[in-house]
């Protein structure tokens, strides 16, 4: 500094402009992760990684990318973030009324975007795989509200049993509520503390679904507390979930397919009396089953399980440094 010259005032960097768009999505296929499925070996960097072939991720698409590829160009932005109200496994579909989410646009150079035209572009691009509601601009604080609201979930599962349970025992389970104790599942024990959690599961319905290669099958519908490990509850995982569905049936059980049908909230209403984005009508299992030759899409689920993936309520792998 030149002697006698006043020091320059410290210039703080300008805050990054951000736009937050709230909606709900339905994931109609298995094998599609919610967020970018970065390779756990190279952390998304590629660099001759043999695990991902240098691609940096293990799936071509995700819910996040199907939305981002249409939203970001319209806002003339390079980056976006996806915030979901929970998450589902790679091999689990999100049907029914959909899952709330917020897509965050970072440093947009354009603001006058036709959100309905943008939504229609996403629907065309994700046809058969992804559906979303209208997108509504919301304040930043909605991100924390969506992510921190404990939300009950409603699931439908296809369950295989080694032998036919007694009919009267199954009938007695319909409508029952069970307080269960779950230890951290073995599949996530390497990154989560091994502790016991208390959860509640309500069995809403169960019915026979014929016989498959593995034996008799049943379809069950349950309502459970936030953070319940449903697949482990069905099998019992060697006593780590008690009482499990296997214990209640009195025979060994295995989850063949699992779908989320409702994310129940309750989520606080938007400001100024606006309603939250919602599909005009939730998907109905009867209509879905009638319209699909393979309503459970088990082949896609097997492929997804073979690839590994993110799990319900678990954080995604860390993205690469930018």
* pLDDT tens track for 209-260: 999 998 999 999 999 999 999 999 999 999 999 999 999 999 999 999 999 9
Beta pairing, strands 18-27 & 130-132: antiparallel
Identify the top-confidence range among 20-34, 163-177, 269-283. 20-34
Domain with CATH 3.30.70.2510 in the chain: 18-149+267-281
The CATH number of the structural domain formed by 152-185+193-260 is: 3.30.70.3190
Q: Is the pLDDT of residue 320 over 50?
A: no
Q: Does domain 18-149+267-281 have CATH number 3.30.70.2510?
A: yes
Give the residue numbers marked as catalytic: 89
pTM of the predicted model as reported, rounded to 2 decimal places? 0.87
Task: Give the count of beta carbons closer than 10 Å to the beta carbon of residue 227.
Answer: 14
DSSP secondary structure code for residue 63 in this structure = H
Nearest residue to 82 (alpha-carbon basis) of 154, 130, 30, 11: 130
Q: Is the dihedral of CA 27, 129, 53, 304 positive or negative?
A: positive
Tell me if 118 sits within 8 A of 108, measured CB to CB: no
Q: Is the dihedral of CA 250, 254, 256, 257 positive or negative?
A: positive
Close Cβ partners of 30 (under 8 Å, ≥ 6 residues apart): 90, 91, 92, 93, 297, 300, 301, 303, 304
Q: Is the pLDDT of residue 305 over 80?
A: no
Q: Is the pLDDT of residue 322 over 60?
A: no
Q: How confident is the model at residue 273 (pLDDT cuts 50, 70, 90)?
A: confident
Q: Is the pLDDT of residue 189 over 80?
A: no
Cis peptide before 243 (omega within 30 of 0): yes
Domain with CATH 3.30.70.3190 in the chain: 152-185+193-260
Q: Give the model confidence (pLDDT) of 140-170 as tens digits.
A: 999 999 999 999 999 999 999 988 888 899 9
């Amino acid at each position: 500094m030149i002697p006698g010259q006043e020091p320059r005032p410290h210039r703080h960097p300008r805050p990054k402009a951000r736009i937050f768009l709230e909606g709900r999505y339905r994931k109609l296929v298995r094998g599609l992760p919610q967020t970018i499925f970065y390779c756990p070996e190279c952390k998304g960097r590629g660099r001759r990684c043999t695990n991902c072939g240098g691609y940096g991720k293990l799936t071509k698409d995700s819910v996040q990318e199907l939305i981002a590829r249409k939203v970001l160009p319209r806002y003339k932005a390079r980056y976006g973030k996806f915030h979901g109200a929970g998450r589902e496994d790679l091999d689990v579909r999100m049907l029914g009324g959909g899952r709330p989410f917020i897509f965050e646009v970072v440093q947009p150079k354009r603001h006058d975007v036709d959100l309905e035209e943008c939504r229609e572009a996403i629907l065309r691009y994700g046809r058969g795989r992804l559906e979303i509601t209208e997108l509504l601009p919301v304040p930043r604080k909605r991100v924390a509200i969506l992510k921190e609201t404990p939300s009950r979930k409603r699931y439908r599962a296809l369950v295989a049993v080694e032998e036919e349970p007694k009919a009267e025992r199954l009938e007695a389970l319909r409508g029952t509520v069970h307080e269960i104790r779950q230890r951290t599942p073995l599949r996530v024990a390497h990154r989560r503390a091994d502790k016991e959690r208390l959860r509640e599961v309500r069995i809403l319905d169960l019915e026979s679904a014929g016989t498959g290669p593995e034996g008799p099958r049943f379809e069950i519908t349950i309502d459970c507390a936030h953070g319940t490990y449903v697949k482990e509850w069905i099998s019992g995982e060697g006593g780590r979930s008690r009482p499990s569905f296997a214990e209640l049936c009195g025979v060994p059980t295995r989850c063949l397919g699992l779908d989320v049908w409702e994310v129940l909230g309750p989520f606080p209403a938007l400001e100024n009396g606006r309603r939250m984005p919602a599909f005009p009508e939730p998907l109905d299992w009867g209509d879905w089953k009638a319209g699909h030759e393979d309503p459970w899409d088990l082949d896609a689920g097997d492929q997804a399980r073979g690839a590994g993936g993110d799990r319900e309520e678990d954080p995604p792998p860390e993205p690469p440094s930018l």
